[in-house]
Structure 1
Amino acid sequence: MTNYHTSGMTLISPNDCIWSQSTRMVILEKQIPIELKFYDANNPPDYLLELNPNALSPTLIDKKLILYHVTIIMEYLEERFPQPALNKMDPISKANNRMIIKRVSDDWCQLLENILYHCEKPEPSKKMLTESLLSAIPLFRAKKYFLSDTFTLIDCLLAPLLWRLPKLGIPVFDQSADIKNYAQRLFSRPSFKGSLSPKELKLGDFTL
């Protein structure tokens, strides 16, 4: 096996991936010095399969450490670079945020993954995602960010998902001003704009 230990930090990710874009938002919010490497998800490089046999994206290399799975990477970056904080500090709030991240990841993000990559007939999944997001309008309305007065890891996970919805024909912004306003707050952040790969830039629209 090739030696991939590095002197710094490297993020290896596809050029179109909600999980990878979420991670890049965290990196940019914290202004972490890092090398970004992109690849075509349909043709992952051989070296990536040595590092990450299941090709789960993204892959983070930090010297001798190799991590994959978005929530593990985001929490690692939060602890490694604690400022600015993107998670609550007290144990109860931190645990609650972890539960929300798991729900967003397992429910909404997984539905979007199915629509994008795994469904021959995506309409039922589109309907489920639309209905689920609209049922959560009170959560989007409650505070400036998702259940928080400050920007958190949860928002990093939601922003790439919301960005892709209009061009997929998922009309939540037409049906909810609260979700639309929340999305616009996320899309206006420099970290969101900087997190978009050239391919991802074409998947959404800043003029909602």
Structure 2
Amino acid sequence: MTLALYHNDMSSCAQKVRLMLAEKGLQYESRHLNLRAGEHQQDWYVKLNPRAVVPTLIDGDIVVPESNVINEYLDERFPDPPLKPADPFGRAKMRLWTKQLDEGVHDAGIAILSFGVAFRHQYISKGEAGKEMLESIPDPIKRERRRDVIEKGLDSAFFKIAISRLLTLYRDMEDSLTKHAWLAGADYSIADAAFTPYVVRLDHLDVLGMLEPTPRVADWYRRIQARPSFKEGITRWENADYLTLMKRQGRENWPKIKEIMASC
């Protein structure tokens, strides 16, 4: 068995796959890409992943892109321990959770929160190089959302939409966690691994106050942090330079974020 993972240390999508690998106890070759240097936009990588995003899993001669697809692939390829619910309805609930991530939670939600609060400053500081990185984003909808939030920050209409979408997500998680211990049922599953980065990012931005209306989600996150996979998949990859920027900008912008939350 030869597994390799093209990933980035602070990427939410890469985090969920590293969590899955850690939960499975799988060893892999780390192939880290510097996203701010545009390494994921080079021709050789786009041939592996046409959307020019991370992560991409390599399993021998097999190439698997897209984090949610990778996690299901890993669970079927390495079924012990199983991280899908045993019953069909449980698996359906798990997939209804992960499906949301590709329908707005990621690109229109947590990514816009991150860019509006912190990452926009990296693009702006690079000047023309930052503009070139932005223009290299293949998806035109994603590119224009990023452009608007880089230019306008928290005043972007997309930023307000992102806050509203995330608050809806956390309320939905809260409701699910009133019924059972984990998102899709009584046991930890792919759904929990998939959604962990979308609370980790609040932590890294120092805006965990967004969870104040949803105490069960806050408790779920504490239990997630106590799992050995969290250290292996998240903590050991934390980038100190990014964290410094993220926390500083998060604290600075928290009063405005609370205002936006109150209007949602």
Q: Same fold (TM over 0.5)?
A: yes
Give secondary structure in 2 for the equivalent of 1:155. helix
- The CA RMSD over aligned residues, in Å, is 2.3
1: CA distance between counterparts of 2:179 and 2:93?
Answer: 16
Count of aligned pairs between the two proteins = 198
Alignment of 1:20-169 (within 5 A): 20-42=14-36, 43-44=38-39, 46=42, 47-110=44-107, 111-117=109-115, 118=146, 119-120=149-150, 121=156, 122-166=159-203, 167=205, 169=207
Offset from partner CA, 1:132-162 (integer Å, 9 cap, x none): 4235422123222113211100000111110
Aligned in 2, Cα 1:86/1:128: closer, same or farther, shift over 3 Å?
A: same
Match of 1:181 in 2: 219
Match of 2:232 in 1: 194
Moved more, 36-45 or 145-154: 36-45
Give secondary structure in 2 for the equivalent of 1:67. strand
Aligned in 2, Cα 1:186/1:105: closer, same or farther, shift over 3 Å?
A: farther
2: CA distance between counterparts of 1:131 and 1:91?
Answer: 26
* Contact 2:170–2:211 (8 Å) recurs in 1: no
TM-score by length of 1: 0.84
Aligned in 2, Cα 1:73/1:50: closer, same or farther, shift over 3 Å?
A: same
Give secondary structure in 2 for the equivalent of 1:165. helix
1: CA distance between counterparts of 2:85 and 2:172?
Answer: 25
2: CA distance between counterparts of 1:125 and 1:172?
Answer: 12
Moved more, 72-81 or 118-127: 118-127
Give secondary structure in 1 for the equivalent of 2:13. helix
* Contact 1:52–1:68 (8 Å) recurs in 2: yes
* Contact 1:11–1:35 (8 Å) recurs in 2: yes
Q: Structure 1: state its 5+ residue gaps.
A: 1-6
Q: Structure 2: state its 5+ residue gaps.
A: 116-145, 151-155, 248-264
* Contact 2:94–2:183 (8 Å) recurs in 1: no
- Residue 109 of structure 1 deviates from its aligned partner by 2.9
* Contact 1:159–1:187 (8 Å) recurs in 2: no
1: CA distance between counterparts of 2:171 and 2:210?
Answer: 7
Aligned in 2, Cα 1:163/1:147: closer, same or farther, shift over 3 Å?
A: same
Aligned identity (percent) is 21
- Residue 105 of structure 1 deviates from its aligned partner by 4.2
